[in-house]
Structure 1
Amino acid sequence: MLRRLRQGLDAIYFGCGVIAAAFLIAMLGIIVAQMIARWTGLVFPGAASYAGYCMAGASFFAFAHALNRGAHIRVGILLNAAGRHRRWLELWCFAVGSVAAWFLARYAVNLVLWSRKLGDVSQGQDATPLWIPQMPMAIGSVVFAVALTDHLLQIVFAGDHGIRSDTAQQSRAE
């Protein structure tokens, strides 16, 4: 049961990384389309806003995947200096991070709900309903909060957060 849960969570984190990559590709496509529109004298209303929405979506969807892969900036020097107290310091960091992430997730979801309820639209020529570009932020925030809580629970019950750092950090830590 726990093994399936672990595989499922890892698949969700990886899937979020794939979605983040798709947002980056979409952002590239929008920027190229905007360049072509300028060269040909056409207008692409809202292109800068759409590229910004894609960048935000890529960032928020990448959070959980990056955490799971050890790509987030962590204070490795401080953790290594903690010595035998390293587990307690990591426990504290993941607890504070989890609380902050759930706080962000709550407000991100509320932002989407209120934007939809109020019919809020962007200020540009495109007048995009804002709940649509806010949705990736809300989903990414919730998945990131789940990931932080997941790694916190791994420290509590397994004694290790399960994050495998990139090769350069790992070789220095060993």
Structure 2
Amino acid sequence: MGAIRRALDFLYMVSGLIAALCLVAILGLIVLQMIARWTGEVFPGAPNYAGYAMAAASFMAFANALGRGAHIRVSILLNAVTARVKWLLDLWCFGLGAAIAAYFTYYAYNFVYWSWKFKDVSQGQDATALWIPQSVMVAGGALLTLALLDNLVHLALRGTHRISSDTLDAHAE
């Protein structure tokens, strides 16, 4: 079981690293586009690529952010109820969140499949095959689903989730 835990934690960390690299790529694209304008050159597709990198950064960061407590949680209610009710509310939230994330991932996969099947390309000058940047959405959704299920199972078996508390929650307890 320890090997699975280490693998999942590594996967969440790598997804956060990929998200950070996507943010650096956005910075690089903006700088390259500025340099291209100053020199009178054209960098076709730079805004599209920055948009793809922004979507990739968002979706790849979801699982990592969940584990680090960076997602918004309304803890005012959780801090006002008994431990048993808090546990039940957490179970309900993780279960519902996992179901919604799985639903999203399933339909995102269908979206990517049909983009690939119809050879759909972006409308910009770059004419990028859209299934490529859309695939990151599926990967990020799948990682979020996995992270929510991971927390749900951990909560059900061990009585506590794996989300590290942020500073506000730590002071409230």
Normalising by the smaller structure, the TM-score range is over 0.9
Query: Matched residues in 2 for 1:151 and 1:82: separation?
Result: 20
1:67 maps to 66
Query: Matched residues in 2 for 1:30 and 1:62: separation?
Result: 20
Query: Matched residues in 2 for 1:42 and 1:64: separation?
Result: 39
State how 1:120-131 maps to structure 2 within 5 Å: 120-131=120-131
Contact 2:75–2:169 (CA<8 Å) still a contact in 1? no
1:26 maps to 25
2:8 maps to 9
Could you tell me the TM-score, scaled by structure 2's length? 0.96
Number of equivalenced pairs? 172
2:78 maps to 79
The RMSD of aligned alpha carbons is: 1.0
Q: Which amino acid aligns with 2:159?
A: G
1:103 aligns with 2:95: no
Identity of matched residues, %? 55
Q: Which amino acid aligns with 2:65?
A: A
1:52-83 Cα shifts (integer Å, max 9, x gaps):
10000000000000001111111111111122
Give the C-alpha shift of residue 173 in structure 1.
2.7
Query: Matched residues in 2 for 1:14 and 1:156: separation?
Result: 23
Query: Matched residues in 2 for 1:103 and 1:64: separation?
Result: 16
1:80-101 Cα shifts (integer Å, max 9, x gaps):
1122310000110111100000
Query: Matched residues in 2 for 1:82 and 1:134: separation?
Result: 41
Contact 1:70–1:164 (CA<8 Å) still a contact in 2? yes
1:119 maps to 119
State how 1:113-152 maps to structure 2 within 5 Å: 113-152=113-152
Query: Matched residues in 2 for 1:9 and 1:135: separation?
Result: 20
For residue 165 of structure 1, give the secondary structure of its aligned residue in structure 2. Answer: coil
The ranges of structure 1 where at least 4 consecutive aligned residues each deviate by more than 4 angstroms after the TM superposition are: none
1:88 maps to 88
Query: Matched residues in 2 for 1:173 and 1:160: separation?
Result: 17
Give the C-alpha shift of residue 170 in structure 1.
4.0
1:16-69 Cα shifts (integer Å, max 9, x gaps):
000001101111101111111111111111111110100000000000000011
2:163 maps to 163
Query: Matched residues in 2 for 1:25 and 1:78: separation?
Result: 37
User: Any gaps of 5 or more consecutive residues in structure 2?
Assistant: none
User: Any gaps of 5 or more consecutive residues in structure 1?
Assistant: none
For residue 14 of structure 2, give the secondary structure of its aligned residue in structure 1. Answer: helix
Give the C-alpha shift of residue 112 in structure 1.
1.4
Contact 1:82–1:89 (CA<8 Å) still a contact in 2? no
